[in-house]
Structure 1
Amino acid sequence: MKIKATLDRIPGGMMVVPLLLAATINTFFPNILRIGGFTEALFVDSSSALISLFLLIAGTQITFKTAGTSVKKGLTLLAFKWGIGAVIGLIAIMLADSNGLFLGLAPIAIVAAMTNSNGGLYIAFAGQYGKEDDKAAYPFLALSDGPFLTMVALAIFGTMGYAEGMFSPTDFIAVLLPLAVGIAIGNLDKEMGDFLYKGSDKLVPFFAFSLGMSINFTAIIKGGLSGVLLGVITVLITGGVGYLLFKWIGWNPIVGASEGSTAGNAVGTPMAIAAANASFMPVAELATVQVAASVVTTAILLPIFIGILAKRLEKKTGKPIKEINPTM
């Protein structure tokens, strides 16, 4: 049985198939792997540890001379992702109906879903299609975790003020540290860096499966068509703009498109916003299920979207993605 060959034929197969398989298990048999011990530790709870290890290994291939590129890419990803979500959220606020909704969507759901990306998906795509400086851009995306940047956008719109405790510098350092350790190891001992790097690709299907164990397809039903629409918009607009922006700059456009997702932790953002400003409470519950639907929808659609874009680029150039000059 040629499992690897089959996965290789599917765009992003090493990430997509384990993730969707786990999501299916979690939807219909949520407790089958939650039995404690090594089983639950590996198949359910391992994503954070494995992604951290993946970042450390990626860091071993970054030299102090090339680290600046990772910073530029990370800040560019963060800026355009937040900017798009903020602008569309502002448009939704301006065009909202008497119920405070735009196309059935709560504006805070739009901002929350579109400004916060799934880091695990980004790492998986950057690992398959990108280079080490693309992977090393990830820690800067952690700045978008939680409700902080959503609140910044709303504050700019004049609808609410800033709130304390929505962003912790310690959280950012905690994400950055594994990468920094990897950079130190790679620069101190190239042989050690090369030794660690040999195992990096093998981590992808395992942390993808663990990510899938946090996805429940019933969120799509609860969020309704409006939640699915939010997920589709997030993939097409933020993923599409990321693709075009990175292509224009001269970076790998597939990496830019990899930001077209909604992170699972964005589900808690509407309630956090409502806790800080009670005026959002009437739509907070609706916004929560819409964001949850977007999380699942983007997890399904983004790999398909990335696969289509990757095939187009490879067909056009006749080269693997990692060898393609995006400006061609």
Structure 2
Amino acid sequence: MKIKATLDRIPGGMMVVPLLTAAVINTVAPDLLRIGGFTQALFVDSASALIALFLLCTGAQINLRNVGVSLGKGATLLATKWVVGALFGLIAYMFAGDNGLWLGLAPIAIIAAMTNSNGGLFVALVGQYGNKEDRAAYSLLALNDGPFLTMVALSIFGAMGFVEGLFSPVAFIAVLLPIIVGMVLGNLDEDMRAFLDKGSLMLIPFFAFALGMGIDFTAIVQGGLGGIILGLLTVFVTGTAGYIVFKALKWNPIVGAAEGSTAGNAVATPAAIAAASASFASVVDIATVQVAASTVTTAILLPLYIGFLVKRLERKGFIFENGEMLQKGK
């Protein structure tokens, strides 16, 4: 039975199939694998640990002489994602109705969903289509976790004053440290770099499945059409913006598009901001369910969009080999 060969024929199959399979299980029978022991530890609770190990293996592939490229890519992704999300949020505030909504969407939900990104999904996609520098760019993307950048956007166009205490430097360091440990090991010992390189691809389907066990398709229903629209905007607007910017800079555009998602932790952002400013209290509930719906929508749609973009590039004569995008005949 050719399981791996079948998955390889599906764009992003090593990530998409396990993730969607787990999401179906979590929606239909959420307690099926939550039985404790090694089963739950591996298939349900392992996402953070496996992603951390993936980042350590990735960090080991970074040559300190080329680290600036990774930081440049990470900063570009972070800035592109934030600018697009903040701009749409500003438009929403400018044209919001008396109920505080724009086209049924809460502006705070737009900013929270479109400026935040699913790090696990990014790592999985870039692990399949990007190189070691692309994967290491994730070290900077940790900055868009939580409400910090949403708060910055709101403060910039005067929706509220800046509120301290919503961004923890310790949390950022905690994300960065596995990459640093891997980088130190890889630069001290070439054999250790080669050893850890073998672990990167193997981990993808396992943490993808664990990520899927955190997805509940009912969130789409609860978030309604507005939440689905928000997810579509996040994938096709922020993802396409990243694609265009990376293509213009002569980088792998698939890596830029891989940022077009909403992270699960963004669901808590509306409540966190409302706790800092009571003026947002009236839209917290609807904003929360819309962000939740966007999280699920992007987790399903972004890998499919990436697959479409990959096929499109392949028709133009590009191929993806060993994490590099190459043009045939060159």
Deviations 1:80-99 (A, max 9, x none): 10111000100000011111
The correspondence for 1:324, drawn from 306, 326, 329, is 326
- SS of 1:323's partner is strand
Q: CA deviation at 1:13?
A: 0.4
Q: CA deviation at 1:323?
A: 3.3
Alignment of 1:61-100 (within 5 A): 61-100=61-100
Alignment of 1:1-328 (within 5 A): 1-320=1-320, 322-324=324-326
Deviations 1:186-242 (A, max 9, x none): 111001110111121110000000000110000000000110000001100000010
Q: CA deviation at 1:31?
A: 0.9
The AA in structure 2 aligned to 1:82 is W
* Structure 1 range deviating more: 1-10 or 116-125: 1-10
The answer to whether the Cα contact below 8 Å between 2:318 and 2:327 also exists between their aligned partners in 1 is no
Distance 1:111 1:254 in 2: 23
The answer to whether the Cα contact below 8 Å between 1:77 and 1:256 also exists between their aligned partners in 2 is yes
Deviations 1:43-64 (A, max 9, x none): 1111111111111111111111
Unmatched 5+ stretches in structure 2: none
Q: CA deviation at 1:164?
A: 2.4
- SS of 2:319's partner is coil
Distance 1:325 1:287 in 2: 44
Distance 2:11 2:223 in 1: 28
The AA in structure 2 aligned to 1:184 is V
C-alpha change, 1:271 and 1:185, in structure 2 (3 Å) is same
Distance 1:148 1:34 in 2: 33
- SS of 2:305's partner is helix
Q: Given the two structures, how large is their TM-score scaled by the length of structure 2?
A: 0.97
Distance 1:268 1:176 in 2: 22
Distance 1:160 1:318 in 2: 46
Distance 1:299 1:324 in 2: 27
Distance 2:247 2:115 in 1: 21
The AA in structure 1 aligned to 2:220 is I
Distance 1:242 1:325 in 2: 20
Which 4+ runs in 1 deviate beyond 4 A? none
The AA in structure 1 aligned to 2:313 is L
The answer to whether the Cα contact below 8 Å between 1:252 and 1:325 also exists between their aligned partners in 2 is no
Deviations 1:139-173 (A, max 9, x none): 21111111111011001111111222210111111
Q: Given the two structures, how large is their TM-score scaled by the length of structure 1?
A: 0.98
The answer to whether the Cα contact below 8 Å between 2:252 and 2:325 also exists between their aligned partners in 1 is no
The answer to whether the Cα contact below 8 Å between 1:113 and 1:234 also exists between their aligned partners in 2 is yes
The answer to whether the Cα contact below 8 Å between 1:250 and 1:325 also exists between their aligned partners in 2 is no
- SS of 2:316's partner is helix
Distance 2:163 2:241 in 1: 30
Distance 1:68 1:38 in 2: 40
Distance 2:276 2:137 in 1: 31
C-alpha change, 1:66 and 1:3, in structure 2 (3 Å) is same
Q: CA deviation at 1:15?
A: 0.2
The answer to whether the Cα contact below 8 Å between 2:319 and 2:327 also exists between their aligned partners in 1 is no
The answer to whether the Cα contact below 8 Å between 2:151 and 2:162 also exists between their aligned partners in 1 is yes
- SS of 2:31's partner is coil
Tell me the matched-pair count. 327
The answer to whether the Cα contact below 8 Å between 2:318 and 2:325 also exists between their aligned partners in 1 is no
The AA in structure 1 aligned to 2:167 is F
* Structure 1 range deviating more: 262-271 or 312-321: 312-321
Distance 1:191 1:148 in 2: 40
The answer to whether the Cα contact below 8 Å between 2:113 and 2:263 also exists between their aligned partners in 1 is yes
Unmatched 5+ stretches in structure 1: none
Q: Percent identity, please.
A: 67
Distance 2:203 2:139 in 1: 18
- SS of 1:236's partner is helix
Q: CA deviation at 1:325?
A: 5.8
Distance 2:188 2:199 in 1: 19
